[in-house]
Amino acid sequence: MSPTLKAYAIRLFPQVAALAVILLMVSIAFPGFFRLEMQNGRLYGSMIDILNRGAPVALLAIGMTVVIATKGIDLSVGAVMAICGAVAAAAITSGHSLAMTLLITLGTGILCGLWNGILVAVLDIQPIIATLVLMVAGRGIAQLITEGAILTFNDAGLIFIGSGSLFGLPMPVVVWLAFGILVALLVRRTALGMLIEALGVNRRASMLSGVSTGVLLIAAYVLSGLCAALAGIIAAADIRGADANNAGLWLELDAILAVVVGGTSLLGGRFSIAASLIGALIIQSVNTGILLSGFPPEFNLIIKAAIIVLILVIQSPRAQSAFVFLSRAGASEKKTEQEAK
């Protein structure tokens, strides 16, 4: 194995292991879990379902990872999803072509990201507060666009994005996989990723060493807005309508959770988009698993909370120093044993 591949394997091991354990537990409770079927050129099965249902959170997690790596947070993604869903529905029903609709919607997402980015980078407002403004106002704006009703549409092209299939996979899965790979390549095959990490660790130091931190910060929030727009289109296309009240509700929390489960620190710095995507799949597997295994869905939130606490405890600086202490103590014990021999 090449050294880079080995590094990736070590980095992703906890997340992959957690996902495997959860999938295994679900498959014990629900035997037909791993079965895949090909029908009309599209794969069907619980695994595909997890990939498909997890699409919005996975998309949001891509942008959120980059934002969190800059030591920021974006609370507005759920509201931006609602806005973009509303914009897409309004554009397609007022007679715009599909390409135009997508362009307008993605543009709206970029605009929302730009607003957040300018608040954070130029006005120097704490990210949690800066994005809170759009989180509070966003749903109101979305309702303004849909005029309080659920705006339905039946444009075949737009619906295809929510429920069509490409290469045997549901369209949402193709979208998030392709977008995830695109962003990961963009940040890892160029210096961008490293600059973002530098910015997250110490903004002042990276500015003094010549990184244009302002532009990078704004770009991170724009990416997050773009991800939210894509997620919004998928969510709206899935139900063939824009629901300003419920589209993307609380998904910002799931997205942040996916990033945290993926092992990216909320304090900024090193990040991994692949790990966040696996984090998103872990969350969706828990959701789907609880449903499939016949647990009452009421337990969903409690299990989620328990998983967060567990991951928090493992990741906390104090627990890690305790691990180091224990392993050192173990090592020194062995040493004394050897010396005694």
Partner 1 sequence: MNPRYLPLIATIAIFLIAYAVCIAQYPNMLSTRVIGNLLTDNAFLGIAAVGMTFVILSGGIDLSIGAVIAFTGVFLAVLLQATSIHPLLAFVLALAITTAFGALMGAIIHHLEMPPFIVTLAGMFLARGMAFVLSIDSIPIKHPFYATLKSAYYKLPGGGRITLIGGLMLLVFALGILIAHRTRFGANVYALGGGAPTARLMGVPIARTTILIYALSGFLAGLSGIVFSLYTSAGYSLATVGVELDAIAAVVIGGTLLTGGSGFIAGTLVGILIQGLIQTYITFDGSLSSWWTKILIGLLLFSFILLQKGLIHVTDRRRRHA
Q: Give residues in contact with partner 1 (CB under 8 A).
A: 73, 123-126, 128-130, 132-141, 143-144, 148, 244, 253, 256-257, 260, 266-267, 296-306, 308-309, 312-313, 315-319
The CA distance from 32 to 175, in Å, is: 27
Selection from 251, 256, 228, 255 nearest residue 111 by Cα:
228
Scan for tokens 């600086």, then name that residue. Answer: 317
CB of 94 to partner 1, least distance (A): 20
The CA distance from 207 to 218, in Å, is: 14
- Comparing CB distances to partner 1, the nearer of 75 and 174 is 75
CB of 283 to partner 1, least distance (A): 11
- Comparing CB distances to partner 1, the nearer of 118 and 186 is 118
Q: What is the token pair recorded at 306?
A: 């328990």
- Comparing CB distances to partner 1, the nearer of 12 and 133 is 133
CB of 297 to partner 1, least distance (A): 8
- Comparing CB distances to partner 1, the nearer of 179 and 221 is 221
CB of 180 to partner 1, least distance (A): 23
Selection from 308, 264, 228, 219 nearest residue 58 by Cα:
228
HSE-up of 224 (CA within 13 Å, CB side)? 35
Selection from 301, 291, 179, 294 nearest residue 230 by Cα:
179
CB of 126 to partner 1, least distance (A): 6
- Comparing CB distances to partner 1, the nearer of 235 and 259 is 259
The CA distance from 36 to 46, in Å, is: 8
DSSP 8-state secondary structure symbol assigned to residue 152? E
The CA distance from 274 to 253, in Å, is: 19
CB of 128 to partner 1, least distance (A): 7
CB of 312 to partner 1, least distance (A): 5
- Comparing CB distances to partner 1, the nearer of 159 and 217 is 217
CB of 127 to partner 1, least distance (A): 11
CB of 303 to partner 1, least distance (A): 8
- State how far the alpha carbon of 226 is from the alpha carbons of 108, 292, 339, in Å: 8, 33, 62
- Comparing CB distances to partner 1, the nearer of 52 and 272 is 272
- Comparing CB distances to partner 1, the nearer of 185 and 309 is 309
The CA distance from 84 to 101, in Å, is: 10
Scan for tokens 């919607």, then name that residue. Answer: 105
- Comparing CB distances to partner 1, the nearer of 47 and 112 is 112
If you write DSSP's letter for every residue of 169-231 in order, what string do you get?
EEHHHHHHHHHHHHHHHHHHSSSHHHHHHHHHH-HHHHHHTT--HHHHHHHHHHHHHHHHHHH
76, 135 contact by CB (below 8 A): yes
